[in-house]
Amino acid sequence: MTLQATGSGNDGCLYGRFFLVVILSCLFLTGCNTLSQAQKNADNSLTRISTAVRSDGKGQVVRFNMQQPADSFRVYQPEPHLIQLAIFNDKINSDNIAAPGESSLLEDVRFYDIPNGIGVDIRLNPDNYYDSQFYPDAKSDDLLLGLTHTDRQALEQQTQGLAAIRWSESPFPPDSLQPEEEPLPQNTNYDKVKDKMKFDVVVLDPGHGGHDTGAIGYNNVLEKKVVLQIAKKVGGYINEHLPDVEVIYTRDDDRFIELEERGRIANRQEGDLFVSIHCNSNHSRQPYGSEVYFLGLERSQTALEVMKRENKVVRANSNVEQKQLSQEELLIYELANSGYISTSERIAGMLEHQFSERAQRRSRGVKQARFVVLYHASMPAVLIETGFISNPNEAQYLTSEYGQNIIASAIFRAIRNYKQQYERNYQLQTK
């Protein structure tokens, strides 16, 4: 029997074309999905994690292979066998990262998407006890997690009382990250919104004051007096050369202000930059030079000692209160304010450059520590140790009109340079 199509030849062509279009559409959609996934993979800054034994034999290294440098990163070890990392970068996500499987070192590696980056949980094998340090590779954009063999008892003591971050349950209020949508402002409010984007408020914080003298240096030089004089000179330079910038002082006379209140003053005034000015001190008269700090976990004994001194509050009854931030509080702050941390580090570098180049001072570098006064300022914030008043030569320099002018000029120039950089970036974004 011969079957014959009942439609015309043209109908057969139409049916054929229809099926061809359907097939091509399916292939196209499949290809788009594949390309989309490939593009997503290519856009991910973190592609692979690998491990290796350290060359010095003291532990192991976990390498995070980065396609571009991270904006900032932090490490937190709340348990002996749990290391938590936060890596911030606009193009990083938790998808398709090649990670090592279970081994004698690692039990599990998990990734979580967080605002502006990812969180990483590294679970170590229970037989291993390592102290951790997270740092950039000197020869590439990669990040390295250095694991150093340590004593079980020391590690358990170090992590006692700490709580792990739950990445899936944001450790900071959701409202602070994703505010409820509101109607767009009317055109009449445009200038107000635009004004808030300007760099026009600098908060200067002369440390200590009142019954809290701060450090007492050579020949009874008082830190509280020196830093107030320097702060006022910085404010004078800003008023003279940057008339569109308002200067706010946390104190402009010899009064005591709580550490927490200093940050709140800056927040109420909607500051664009918080600069806390201090003098350093040491039991020895030999140390000298300037240091600039931003908020972070101290990485040296000297940074720890400075942090403890500046977090110490002398009460009117002469009682001394030692304030401190836990590692967990610090990490939560960093997660919610990663942009401020990164900017603060950059500004600290600008200040350090001015001290060494403009002021011809010995730079002791840019460092980080858990300063309570910086923690409460919701903006880029730095703490400056202008020099050691325990050193006779530096005490004389920091109390002289000449020395104070040079130090204040260096601070002003760094603020001015940052303002110029900030406004250039803002103009590029609004074009």
Look at residue 35 and tell me whether its pLDDT is greater than 90. Answer: no
The answer on 160 and 199 residing in a single domain is no
How would residue 170 be classed by pLDDT, with cut points 50, 70 and 90? very low
Q: How deeply is 133 buried, as exposed, middle or buried, from its count of CB atoms within 10 A (0-12, 13-18, 19+)?
A: middle
Distance of alpha carbon 118 from the chain centroid: 15
CATH number of the domain enclosing 101: 2.60.40.3500
Q: Are the beta carbons of 273 and 383 closer than 8 angstroms? A: no
Name the strand (E) or helix (H) holding 225.
helix 223-241
Report if residue 2 sits inside a domain: no
Number of domains in the chain: 2
The answer on 205 and 354 residing in a single domain is yes
The answer on 331 and 212 residing in a single domain is yes
Between 187 and 125, name the one with better pLDDT: 125
Q: How deeply is 57 buried, as exposed, middle or buried, from its count of CB atoms within 10 A (0-12, 13-18, 19+)?
A: exposed
Report if residue 151 sits inside a domain: yes
pLDDT at 192: 42
The answer on 402 and 327 residing in a single domain is yes
pLDDT at 22: 47
Report if residue 420 sits inside a domain: yes
Report if residue 419 sits inside a domain: yes
pLDDT at 187: 41
pLDDT at 363: 80
**End-of-domain residue from the set 166, 183, 209:** 166
How would residue 183 be classed by pLDDT, with cut points 50, 70 and 90? very low
Q: How deeply is 374 buried, as exposed, middle or buried, from its count of CB atoms within 10 A (0-12, 13-18, 19+)?
A: buried
The answer on 200 and 90 residing in a single domain is no
Q: Are the beta carbons of 45 and 66 closer than 8 angstroms? A: yes
Report if residue 120 sits inside a domain: yes
Look at residue 315 and tell me whether its pLDDT is greater than 50. Answer: no
pLDDT at 297: 58
Look at residue 280 and tell me whether its pLDDT is greater than 70. Answer: yes
How would residue 399 be classed by pLDDT, with cut points 50, 70 and 90? very high
Measuring CA to CA, which residue among 157, 46, 132 is closest to residue 96? 46
The answer on 132 and 86 residing in a single domain is yes
The answer on 150 and 209 residing in a single domain is no
Report if residue 257 sits inside a domain: yes
Kindly give, in sequence order, each residue whose CB lies less than 8 Å from that of residue 132, ignoring residues fewer than 6 positions away. 75, 77, 83, 145, 146, 147, 148
Mean pLDDT of 202-226: 92
Domain membership of residue 90 as a residue range: 46-166
The answer on 323 and 240 residing in a single domain is yes
Report if residue 75 sits inside a domain: yes
Q: Are the beta carbons of 291 and 299 closer than 8 angstroms? A: no
Distance of alpha carbon 45 from the chain centroid: 19
CATH number of the domain enclosing 372: 3.40.630.40
Between 6 and 169, name the one with better pLDDT: 169
The answer on 60 and 207 residing in a single domain is no
Query: In this predicted model, what pLDDT tens digit does every residue of 230-263 receive, in sequence order?
Result: 999 999 999 999 999 999 999 999 998 888 888 8
Report if residue 144 sits inside a domain: yes
The answer on 80 and 216 residing in a single domain is no
The answer on 309 and 421 residing in a single domain is yes
